[in-house]
Amino acid sequence: MTGPPFPASLLPLAALVLLAGQTLQHCAGQSSADRPGVHSPPPQPASIGQVFGFRDFTEQSLWDQKFLAVPDAQLARQHLKALTSAPHWASSPEDYATAIYVAARFKAAGLQTEIVPYSVLMNKPTSILIEAFDAVGTKIFTGPTREHVEPAANGATDHFQDDPRILPGFNDSSPAADITAQVVYANYGRLADFQRLAALGVSVKGKIVLVRYGAEYRGVKVYIAQQYGAKGVLIYSDPSDDGPRDQQRYPAGPNRPDTAVQRGSVQFLPIYPGDPTTPGVASVPTLPASERIPVDKLQYDLPSIPANPLSSTDAAPILRALAGPAAPREWQGGLSFPYHLGSSTEPVSVHMRLAKDTGLRTIWDVIGKIPGTSDPNQWVIAGNHRDAWVYGAGDPGSGTAAMLEAVHGLGALLEQGWKPRRTIVIGSWDGEEEGMIGSTEWAEQQDTRQSRADHHAVAYFNIDVAVSGPVFNAAAVPSLRSFVRQIAAEVPSPAGGTVLQQWTKEEGEGVTRRSPRGADSLTTDGQSGDEPHLGDLGSGSDYTPFLQHNGVPSTDIGSDGPFSVYHSVFDNYDWFTRFADPDFAYTQQQARFFGLEILHMADADVLPFDYELYAQEIRGYLDQARGRSTNAGLKLDFTGAISAADHFIAGAHAIRASQLAPPKDTATLDRSLAAVEGALLLPDGLPHRPWYRHSIYAPGEFNGYEAVVIPGVNEAIDAANPTRAQAQIDALAQALSRATEALAVPIR
Ligand SMILES: [Zn+2]
């Protein structure tokens, strides 16, 4: 996902100030818990009155204040500096070193800590060659060009770009290949773009398709190109998608320099994520080979055609040489010549030679636990990935730095005698960039019958790119939307006031336009008045296995700015400290936010899930789907599903009354509340992709990041398949009935 453009007025002024030469504050010998948070105003005593899920918030409010005082901007800076000191691609020795660093911080905070290895299929480039020839066979380009920038006029430079451990630009999950073919330009490589090319009479069969990054998950571009018979795919970064036009290119400004290339997985994540050889099964090191899908039979999850990314520097000579029909006007990007689609009589040819070392490699999750006192079998899980394509300062180092300062805060509370009601589990996931592997394998391991018998995950809180700028964003299942807004009302913003106030203000000004990785649903999300909007969870980060495979209510938070250096060498400490968060005030904010999510869920008297809103949302999705099916001329019977949704609304309304006045013993009530999201799972999963079991949210098969709501139903309507659509409506009705039954238990 590339960062969206943001107005320059929203960038912190300090972004223009170089931090070169600034010395870090060292705190050896000083207990960091004693040091107050810096750079943002001290938290105000809470005056937030009653909080849903708590009988009386007074005592919790005191713990919240103690917690909010701990996450420290200077320590976050030190974490980020340590974590990004070397390229740390998953499974590398440098990646293992980051696991040791994180484990040490967990232990220091008093967490029961273990490093959990998995043995997973990985794909490492050994050499990448891309060359292009014009119609008479003259070589017009050989690459890839090394990612490199010269010092800027103001003296700003990059200290990280020449490390020999940097892997070349590549798309993980692409097969090795040695192919030559003619080139066709296909805009963003969306389904609509391929349909447009076909309508224009341009065939991509047997061709190498050149597409630009953006608009959808890159693996979907390859998925569609393959279905259209393409021989290979080149995915380049077009300057028109590099961020605010009034911002300069790095190192003078935050925008992607011309040589920077976006790495990334092209696994078919909307089919299933994780280790491609073990869908639904944990890739523990002892797993026998006979229980893995053989590498030559992975065609449902991995592309069979090669793909590789290119910088705009390297795409330019190919695009410039393309002849044939002019590209449609909106397909023109930001390079300074007219784009063409490619000609078969005057063809440009590309030779792609991708050598890969593909095999099982070890990755390492770090898991830290704080056992709960009264409800130890209820697990509150929170996580962030640790592996990076290169240095990963924004993605995911800012998330790890924030998570470590949240853990620091939890440790300080433990020292003061605090004990959570529920068990807290913190996950530092590995192999996310290759396809959310570490989180998926761990979540699959928790989904066995034995694990389910001894614990139950009640919520999952995700953070990934915690900070690439100052604009707060969140996505959540509907049952946790007011929970997230409540926390936003408690956390101070470096820009003044609370996160909720800034978030509301920015949304009013039209700045916040999206969820971190999801898309906005068509419905209102139960906003009242000027409350800010939360997006739906699609995919693209580690909440996917928890929500969409295991049925655990989830949230995801971020703080965004221009981030077109995403997945390149330049997402490093130099870039981050100049342009994303120079004084780490937003990283501190995110640490506080993430920590309060954990704290509230772990300590609540009764689980704070708002199922009334959730049920109303689902009722809205059904109304929309019914309208879409009518427009599509499909005759479908929604009566049973709508009646089931109405019963769910009534059941949710009733249980909300119990949540507002909880009984003395909340165990039964909690068990019911915790069972609802799991009841929404489809026993057979979604058509064509059974790993995805959630009946309400999935990543779109033809988008990959954005959420499709009631996906079984809506995708069958899109496919104009009434038989499948009716079966999915009926399966959804059954899921809603199970959810209503789960809610009904304490009322009987
Ligand atoms: Zn990430």
Give tens-digit pLDDT for 362-373. 999 999 999 999
Q: Which of 691, 609, 560 is nearest to 275 (CA)?
A: 691
Q: How many Å lie between the centroid of ligand 1 and the Cα of residue 432?
A: 7
User: Could you give the residue range(s) of every CATH 1.20.930.40 domain in the chain?
Assistant: 611-743
Q: How many Å lie between the centroid of ligand 1 and the Cα of residue 465?
A: 6
In the three-class reduction of DSSP (H, G, I as helix; E, B as strand; rest coil), residue 703 is classed as: coil
- Predicted pLDDT at 50: 86
| Residue 25: both structure tokens together | 């504050």
Q: How many Å lie between the centroid of ligand 1 and the Cα of residue 376?
A: 30
User: Could you give the residue range(s) of every CATH 3.40.630.10 domain in the chain?
Assistant: 8-121+360-603
pLDDT tier at 747 (50, 70, 90 boundaries)? very low
Please state, as a whole number, how many other Cβ atoms lie within 10 Å of the Cβ of residue 353: 16
Q: How many Å lie between the centroid of ligand 1 and the Cα of residue 96?
A: 17
pLDDT tier at 523 (50, 70, 90 boundaries)? very low
| Residue 308: both structure tokens together | 């590789």
Q: How many Å lie between the centroid of ligand 1 and the Cα of residue 265?
A: 11
Is it the case that residue 250 has pLDDT exceeding 60? yes
At 133-144, the pLDDT tens digits run 999 999 999 999
Q: How many Å lie between the centroid of ligand 1 and the Cα of residue 451?
A: 28
In the three-class reduction of DSSP (H, G, I as helix; E, B as strand; rest coil), residue 190 is classed as: coil
Is it the case that residue 729 has pLDDT exceeding 60? yes
Is it the case that residue 14 has pLDDT exceeding 60? no
* CB-proximal residues (5 Å) to ion ligand 1: 395-396, 464
- Predicted pLDDT at 95: 98
Q: What's the rounded mean pLDDT across residues 275-288?
A: 98
Is the peptide bond preceding residue 251 cis, with omega within 30 degrees of 0? yes
Q: How many Å lie between the centroid of ligand 1 and the Cα of residue 585?
A: 20
Average pLDDT over all residues of the chain = 91
The CATH code that applies to domain 8-121+360-603 is 3.40.630.10
Q: How many Å lie between the centroid of ligand 1 and the Cα of residue 156?
A: 26
Q: How many Å lie between the centroid of ligand 1 and the Cα of residue 394?
A: 8
- Predicted pLDDT at 8: 29
Is it the case that residue 443 has pLDDT exceeding 70? yes
Counting residues of the chain whose pLDDT is more than 70, the rounded percentage is: 91
- Predicted pLDDT at 512: 54
User: Could you give the residue range(s) of every CATH 3.50.30.30 domain in the chain?
Assistant: 122-359
At 452-507, the pLDDT tens digits run 878 899 999 999 999 999 999 999 999 999 999 999 999 999 999 999 999 999 99
Find the range with the poorest average confidence among 18-32, 75-89, 560-574.
18-32
Q: How many Å lie between the centroid of ligand 1 and the Cα of residue 540?
A: 8
- Predicted pLDDT at 449: 82
Find the range with the poorest average confidence among 42-46, 219-223, 407-411, 527-531.
42-46
Is it the case that residue 329 has pLDDT exceeding 60? yes
- Predicted pLDDT at 728: 98
Q: How many Å lie between the centroid of ligand 1 and the Cα of residue 1?
A: 9
- Predicted pLDDT at 530: 73
Rounded Cα–Cα distance for residues 438 and 434 (Å):
9
Q: How many Å lie between the centroid of ligand 1 and the Cα of residue 94?
A: 17
Strand partners, 659: none
In the three-class reduction of DSSP (H, G, I as helix; E, B as strand; rest coil), residue 542 is classed as: coil
Q: How many Å lie between the centroid of ligand 1 and the Cα of residue 522?
A: 26
Rounded Cα–Cα distance for residues 384 and 700 (Å):
23
Q: How many Å lie between the centroid of ligand 1 and the Cα of residue 226?
A: 26
pLDDT tier at 539 (50, 70, 90 boundaries)? confident
Q: How many Å lie between the centroid of ligand 1 and the Cα of residue 454?
A: 31
In this structure, what DSSP letter does residue 395 have? I
Q: How many Å lie between the centroid of ligand 1 and the Cα of residue 103?
A: 19
- Is pLDDT larger for residue 404 or for residue 50? 404
Any residues with CB less than 8 A from the CB of 333 and at least 6 apart, and which? 212, 238, 239, 240, 241, 339
At 28-39, the pLDDT tens digits run 333 333 333 444
pLDDT tier at 517 (50, 70, 90 boundaries)? very low
Q: How many Å lie between the centroid of ligand 1 and the Cα of residue 438?
A: 12
Q: How many Å lie between the centroid of ligand 1 and the Cα of residue 661?
A: 40
At 377-419, the pLDDT tens digits run 999 999 999 999 999 999 999 999 999 999 999 999 999 999 9
Rounded Cα–Cα distance for residues 744 and 613 (Å):
17
pLDDT tier at 527 (50, 70, 90 boundaries)? low
Q: How many Å lie between the centroid of ligand 1 and the Cα of residue 571?
A: 11
Q: How many Å lie between the centroid of ligand 1 and the Cα of residue 251?
A: 22
Q: How many Å lie between the centroid of ligand 1 and the Cα of residue 732?
A: 32
Q: How many Å lie between the centroid of ligand 1 and the Cα of residue 385?
A: 6
Find the range with the poorest average confidence among 67-81, 585-599, 692-706.
692-706
Q: How many Å lie between the centroid of ligand 1 and the Cα of residue 597?
A: 20
Q: How many Å lie between the centroid of ligand 1 and the Cα of residue 541?
A: 7
Q: How many Å lie between the centroid of ligand 1 and the Cα of residue 105?
A: 21
- Predicted pLDDT at 706: 87
Q: How many Å lie between the centroid of ligand 1 and the Cα of residue 402?
A: 14
Q: How many Å lie between the centroid of ligand 1 and the Cα of residue 464?
A: 5
Is it the case that residue 514 has pLDDT exceeding 50? no
pLDDT tier at 44 (50, 70, 90 boundaries)? low
**How far, in Å, are 245, 250, 395, 557 from residue 470 at the CA level?**
18, 19, 15, 12
Going by CATH, does the domain composed of 611-743 fall within 1.20.930.40?
Answer: yes
Q: How many Å lie between the centroid of ligand 1 and the Cα of residue 353?
A: 28
Q: How many Å lie between the centroid of ligand 1 and the Cα of residue 384?
A: 8
At 636-657, the pLDDT tens digits run 999 999 999 999 999 999 999 9
| Residue 457: both structure tokens together | 């995950």
Q: Model-level pTM greater than 0.75?
A: yes
Q: How many Å lie between the centroid of ligand 1 and the Cα of residue 269?
A: 15
pLDDT tier at 518 (50, 70, 90 boundaries)? very low
Q: 3-state SS string over 217-262?
A: CHHHHHHHHHHCCCCEEEEECCHHHCCCCCCCECCCCCECCCCCCC
Any residues with CB less than 8 A from the CB of 10 and at least 6 apart, and which? 469, 470, 471, 506, 511, 561
**How far, in Å, are 86, 100, 428, 565 from residue 94 at the CA level?**
7, 10, 15, 21
Tell me the CATH number of domain 122-359, given options 3.30.70.920, 3.50.30.30, 2.60.120.340, 1.20.1250.20: 3.50.30.30
Q: How many Å lie between the centroid of ligand 1 and the Cα of residue 579?
A: 18
Is the peptide bond preceding residue 396 cis, with omega within 30 degrees of 0? yes
End-to-end CA, the chain:
47
Is it the case that residue 703 has pLDDT exceeding 60? yes
Q: How many Å lie between the centroid of ligand 1 and the Cα of residue 610?
A: 29
- Predicted pLDDT at 223: 97
